[in-house]
Amino acid sequence: MAAHTDPYTYRITWSEEDRQYLGLCAEFPSLSWLEDSPEAALGGIRKLVQNCVADMKKHGEAIPEALALRRYSGKFMVRVPPELHRTLSIQAMEAGVSLNRLVASKLVA
């Protein structure tokens, strides 16, 4: 998996417990890689994912779809307590907007 064809979502963070940089991949949450530099942590987790994908292919396992390649509809359902639903509905009515528009604006804020 070359750098330009690696579609997965990576994050590098500091692990205070390990006193090293931690490489993570959103699509493979069980994988991680520790290194002394952020660049090495990124290289390590990417190589680990590459090896994992190759192994999964070899064994006919389903490979996680990269977040970057997924299509998003822009819709998702959120469940909230009834009282919050009521409060938000009142706020939307008072603002003269739909409940959907009010909640979307709160998510962006």
Domain ranges of the chain: 3-68, 73-108
Q: Is the dihedral of CA 17, 23, 25, 26 positive or negative?
A: positive
**At 81, is the pLDDT very low, low, confident or very high (cuts 50, 70, 90)?**
very high
Q: Is 40 exposed, middle or buried (0-12, 13-18, 19+ CB in 10 A)?
A: middle
pLDDT tens digits, one per residue of 9-68: 999 999 999 999 999 999 999 999 999 999 999 999 999 999 999 999 999 999 999 999
Nearest to 8 by CA among 38, 44, 41, 50: 50
Q: Which fold has domain 3-68?
A: Double Stranded RNA Binding Domain (3.30.160)
Q: What is the pTM of this model?
A: 0.73
Interatomic CA distance for residues 90 and 80, integer angstroms: 15
DSSP H helical segments within 1-109, as ranges? 38-58, 82-95, 99-108
pLDDT of residue 4: 53
Q: Report the pLDDT value the prediction gives residue 70, as an integer from 0 to 100.
A: 93
Give the residues across from 33 on adjacent strands.
23
The percent of residues above 90 in pLDDT, for the chain, comes to 94
